[in-house]
Amino acid sequence: MQDYRDYYRQLNDQLSTRIGDLAYELLGEPTFKKTSEWRYGQKGSLSITISGPYQGRFHDFEKDIHGSSLDLISHLKGIKGRELCQWARHWLRLTLQEVWTPIMPIPQGVSKPDFRKAPLNYLLDGRTVEAIYPYRSLQGNLLGYVVRLKDKHNHKITPTLTYCQSNLGRFSWYWKGFREKRSPYGLEKIKDTTASILIVEGEKTAEAAQQLFPHYSVLTWAGGAKAVLKTDWSPLKQRDIILWPDNDPAGHEAMQKLAHHLKEIGNQEVRIVSLPDNTPPKWDLADPIPPVWIANFIALSLEQEESSINSRVPYINRSQPLEFFS
């Protein structure tokens, strides 16, 4: 027979992981929000911790009551014991059964996502949108977005935003990754051109590189260095490809893996740019050009005319939230 204390602990663990949803269910929109804490009541006397080491805990300062997620339900619903457990199990069953699957391509006429409302707003607590990057199919159909978010400490996250359908028949924008066989960022550029392809790491870097090298089709992938082989690179077969790594171990390793994979699927012309020994650590093409480089290094790296770029002009980030803020 299962000890009731273990049973309560298991229920609390499940409730704590979904404390934001539980708070909305019980109390609605918070009166005040911080990154790790939501407050309810005119004076914010009810505090709920939604992230961090105390996630799932609450404190009602007005009544001097505090406790776990299960205690929060008991406090607000006025139920205990078996009735409390039944309510928690029923709520978890309803919420956990709903599974969301991205719809790709996104149908015409879908409304733009609203970051101010659930289920998207929780990621913007303490963060601002720096840029939104649209991912498209080879035919140019919209698949979803990678959103660049930064907090006041300049820490960034780049979650994927897709339009999804649930198994209960609901539709919504969700912070949910692309399905397997992801499309590269910028894939639509290669459809009607035989231009050589330059692959870099990260959407911000891809936008910078496209300005530096307008005669190339610049692509990247979602998910960072470790996710390079989760993308479907087969549309690039038989194309001339140059890989430009970020200057860190993960960046170089990612491009080595990608070069090997591209050759395996039939690309004979794949080259990795060799960065000079004096390249700053973690440098990429979105950063200012190092003054220690020879003036025409970038041009020579891609066998391009030196006059096509000024290698000593720092890149100014022109990426922006696109049509969302137009």
DSSP secondary structure string, 76-130? HH---HHHHHHHHHHHHHHHHH--EEE-SSPPTTPPPP-TTSTTTGGGGTTEEEE
pLDDT (0 to 100) of residue 318: 34
Is the bond preceding residue 214 a cis peptide, omega within 30 degrees? no
Q: 312 pLDDT exceeds 60?
A: no
Backbone angles phi and psi of 21, in degrees to 5 = -65, -40
Smallest Cα–Cα separation from 74: which of 86, 59, 84? 84
Cβ–Cβ under 8 Å, residues 242 and 196: yes
Cβ–Cβ under 8 Å, residues 159 and 147: yes
What is the pLDDT of the chain when averaged over all its residues?
A: 86
Read off the amino acid at residue 223: G
Cβ–Cβ under 8 Å, residues 221 and 249: no
- CA–CA distance, 79 with 186 (Å, rounded to integer): 54
- CA–CA distance, 137 with 145 (Å, rounded to integer): 12
Q: Which of 108-117, 151-160, 234-243, 293-302 has the lowest mean pLDDT?
A: 293-302
Topology classification of domain 187-325: Dna Topoisomerase Vi A Subunit; Chain: A, domain 2 (3.40.1360)
- Residue found under tokens 């409730």: 15
CA quadruple 229, 266, 105, 222: dihedral sign: positive
Domain parsing of the chain, residue ranges: 4-97, 102-175, 187-325
Cβ–Cβ under 8 Å, residues 58 and 76: no
- CA–CA distance, 117 with 144 (Å, rounded to integer): 18
Tens digit of each residue's pLDDT (9 = 90 or more) over 32-89: 998 899 999 988 899 999 998 999 999 999 999 999 999 999 999 999 988 998 899 8
Cβ–Cβ under 8 Å, residues 225 and 201: yes
Q: 317 pLDDT exceeds 70?
A: no
- Residue found under tokens 């704590």: 16
Cβ–Cβ under 8 Å, residues 197 and 241: yes
Question: What pTM value is reported for the model?
Answer: 0.67
Residue-wise over 86-122: b if at least 16 C-beta within 10 A, else e?
eebeebbeeeeeeebebbbbbeeeeeebebeeebbeb
State the CATH architecture for 4-97.
Answer: Alpha-Beta Complex (3.90)
For residues 91-116, give the mean pLDDT.
Answer: 86
Tens digit of each residue's pLDDT (9 = 90 or more) over 253-293: 999 999 999 999 998 889 999 888 888 999 999 998 887 67
Smallest Cα–Cα separation from 56: which of 91, 2, 11, 90? 11
pLDDT (0 to 100) of residue 305: 32
Backbone angles phi and psi of 60, in degrees to 5 = -95, 100
- CA–CA distance, 178 with 176 (Å, rounded to integer): 7
Q: 97 pLDDT exceeds 70?
A: no
